Amino acid sequence: MVNSLIQEQSKRILFRVSYLVSVSMVRQFSWKYRREHSTQFPFVCDICRHTKGRFKTLKDKENHDKMTSRHNRNFKTMAMASGSIDSIRDETDLEKFIRDHVQTDDAFRRVCKGVIKNVSDILKNNIEGKYRPDEVLKTGSIAKGTAIKGKSDVDLVFLLSKREYQSVDQLYDDLSTILRYIKDALNTCPQFKNVRVQPRAVSFQTDCREPKTGYAHVIDVDILPAVNFGDVDIKSIHSQMRETTDAKRNLYTPSLTKWQRDFIKKDRTEQLKKLIRFVKYWKNVCVEKSPSSFGLELLMIFLWIQDSNPQQFQLTNALKKVMETIADTKNIRVEFLEYYNRDFQQRDHSVPYIIDPVNPYSNEAAKCRWDDISREANKFLQKPLLKNATSKFI
C-alpha cells in the first residue's frame, strides 16, 4: 500500500517536472515581448487566459493548447455539463440543463454577430474587381437559431457579382482563383486561425468571448462562393441541376441557402429548437468525430411535422421518439416536397435517407456516422429520464 502511494506520488512529480520543462522551453521570451514582435511569433494562443499569448511555430502553440486546456473556463463548463447528462431525471431537469449548459444567450449572439460582420467587411473591403461579392449571407446554426454553447458553425455564402457571374459554369471555371482571393483577404486578420482552402470553400476558426462571463466560444466558419440567382424561381434552378454533372451540381447548394435557411426557421417553435439544441449537444458529447448536425435537424423537423406540428410538447416524449428513430435507421426515410416534386428526385437513395428540403439531389443522411450515433442512442434510451416517456410529440 505504501509503495503504491510512493509510486503514484513519483508519477505526479515527474509529470509536473516535465510540464515545467516544456513550458520553460517554449517561453524563452515574455508574453509582452511576443506581443510586441507579432511577426516573429505569428501563432496566437487559442484557449488559455493569455488571450494574446503568441508562439513562433504552430507546433509550439498546439503543445501549449494541450497543456493549458483546463485553464479555459469554457472547457470546464463543457466538461461538467457532459458529465451531468446522466443526472437528468425528469422534464424539469432537462429544461434546466438546456438552459444552463446548452442554450446560448443574447450576449453570445451579439458577440457572434460582431464576428460575422467583421468577416463580411473584410471580404467586401479587401477583394476588388470581378471577385468582389455582391453580398455575404449568414447561414449555419447561428443563423438558424440552433447554436449551442461551446462550439458552433457558421456558413457564410459569398454571393458573387450578378454582373460578372450569371451561371454555375462560370463559377466552376474560376473557383480555384476565387478561393485563393478569399483566403488572401482573410489572412490579413490575425485572429482568424487555420485559414485553409477546401475543395469548395475556405475554412477557418475564430474565437469570441462572452461579455461578463468571459467564456470562450469557438466558431468554425466556412465561406462558400455562390452564384447570386436573386429572385429566380427555385424550380428553374432545380431544372439546371438535373442537366449538369455531379461536380457542378454541388456548387449550386450555396446558391440555395436563402431557401434552406427559411425552411429551417419557418414556423419552428422555441420548444422544437430546444430539442434540436439538446440532441446536437448530446451528439457532440457522445459521438467521437461528431458529424454534421444538419441531417439530424431535418430528421427532428420531419418527426415534428409528422406529429402535427405541436406548438407545445414534452421534451422527454419528443426526445424518446428521436432516439428510437436514430437507434433503428431502417425507419429513416425523410423527404420534403415543399420546393420540388418527385420528378426532380433521384430514386436510388438507400435507407437511411434524409433529402435536403431545397436540394433534391442531396442526401444528408449520407454524411452521418449512423453506427456510432445509433449505438449511443440505444444507450440513451436506457436512461431513467426516458423510462416513463411516450414516444410522441405530445
pLDDT in tens, 296-317: 999 999 999 999 999 999 999 9
Q: Are the CB atoms for 44 and 54 separated by under 8 Å?
A: yes
Query: Which residue would you say has higher pLDDT here, 272 or 265?
Result: 272
Question: Based on the domain organization, do 121 and 140 belong to the same domain?
Answer: yes
Predicted confidence at residue 69, as pLDDT, reads: 41
Confidence of residue 23 (pLDDT cuts 50, 70, 90): very low
Nearest-angstrom CA–CA distance, 271 and 116: 26
Question: Based on the domain organization, do 317 and 348 belong to the same domain?
Answer: yes
Is 37 among the domain residues?
yes
Predicted confidence at residue 306, as pLDDT, reads: 95
Query: Residue 180, Cβ neighbours under 10 Å: how many?
Result: 13
Question: Based on the domain organization, do 248 and 126 belong to the same domain?
Answer: yes
Question: Based on the domain organization, do 235 and 123 belong to the same domain?
Answer: yes
15-19, 273-277, 378-382: least confidently modelled range: 15-19
Nearest-angstrom CA–CA distance, 181 and 282: 37
Question: Based on the domain organization, do 169 and 313 belong to the same domain?
Answer: no
Is 103 among the domain residues?
no
Question: Based on the domain organization, do 277 and 362 belong to the same domain?
Answer: yes
Question: Based on the domain organization, do 153 and 279 belong to the same domain?
Answer: no
Domain CATH number, residue 348: 1.10.1410.20
Confidence of residue 349 (pLDDT cuts 50, 70, 90): confident
Question: Based on the domain organization, do 190 and 239 belong to the same domain?
Answer: yes
Domain CATH number, residue 159: 3.30.460.10
Strand partners, 158: 136, 225
Confidence of residue 343 (pLDDT cuts 50, 70, 90): confident
- Out of 264, 294, 321, a domain closes at 264
Of 132, 103, 77, give the one whose Cα is nearest residue 276.
103
Question: Based on the domain organization, do 375 and 311 belong to the same domain?
Answer: yes
Distance (Å) of CA 8 to CA 1, 11, 16, 146, 354: 11, 5, 13, 45, 52
- Out of 249, 264, 279, a domain closes at 264
Is 305 among the domain residues?
yes
Confidence of residue 21 (pLDDT cuts 50, 70, 90): very low
Distance (Å) of CA 312 to CA 38, 88, 272, 278, 318: 53, 21, 8, 16, 11
Predicted confidence at residue 375, as pLDDT, reads: 93
Q: Span 345-371, mean pLDDT?
A: 86
Question: Based on the domain organization, do 249 and 276 belong to the same domain?
Answer: no
Predicted confidence at residue 40, as pLDDT, reads: 66
Is 242 among the domain residues?
yes
Nearest-angstrom CA–CA distance, 183 and 178: 9
pLDDT tops 80 at residue 104: yes
Strand partners, 266: none
For residue range 187-216, what is the model confidence (pLDDT) as tens digits?
Answer: 998 889 999 999 999 999 987 776 666 666
Is 91 among the domain residues?
no
Is 115 among the domain residues?
yes
Nearest-angstrom CA–CA distance, 197 and 182: 9
Q: Span 207-232, mean pLDDT?
A: 81
For residue range 81-100, what is the model confidence (pLDDT) as tens digits?
Answer: 445 788 899 999 999 999 98
Query: Which residue would you say has higher pLDDT here, 41 or 167?
Result: 167
Predicted confidence at residue 77, as pLDDT, reads: 41
pLDDT tops 70 at residue 322: yes
- Out of 264, 280, 312, a domain closes at 264
* Percent of the chain residues topping a pLDDT of 90: 48
What's phi and psi for 193, nearest 5 deg? -110, 150
For residue range 113-160, what is the model confidence (pLDDT) as tens digits?
Answer: 888 898 999 999 999 899 999 999 988 888 888 888 766 678 899 999
Predicted confidence at residue 223, as pLDDT, reads: 96
Is 243 among the domain residues?
yes
Say how many domains are in the chain: 3
pTM score = 0.76
Predicted confidence at residue 227, as pLDDT, reads: 96
Is 81 among the domain residues?
no
Mean pLDDT over the full length of the chain: 81
Question: Based on the domain organization, do 284 and 257 belong to the same domain?
Answer: no
Of 159, 254, 151, give the one whose Cα is nearest residue 206.
151
Q: Are the CB atoms for 202 and 131 separated by under 8 Å?
A: no
Confidence of residue 17 (pLDDT cuts 50, 70, 90): very low
Nearest-angstrom CA–CA distance, 278 and 96: 11
Q: Span 383-390, mean pLDDT?
A: 94
* Percent of the chain residues topping a pLDDT of 70: 74
Which structural domain, as residue segments, surrounds residue 333?
267-386
For residue range 26-81, what is the model confidence (pLDDT) as tens digits?
Answer: 345 666 666 666 656 666 664 443 445 677 765 666 566 554 443 444 433 444 44
Query: Which residue would you say has higher pLDDT here, 325 or 154?
Result: 325
Distance (Å) of CA 86 to CA 75, 259, 372: 19, 38, 19
Predicted confidence at residue 332, as pLDDT, reads: 94
Predicted confidence at residue 145, as pLDDT, reads: 84
pLDDT tops 50 at residue 353: yes
Question: Based on the domain organization, do 203 and 309 belong to the same domain?
Answer: no
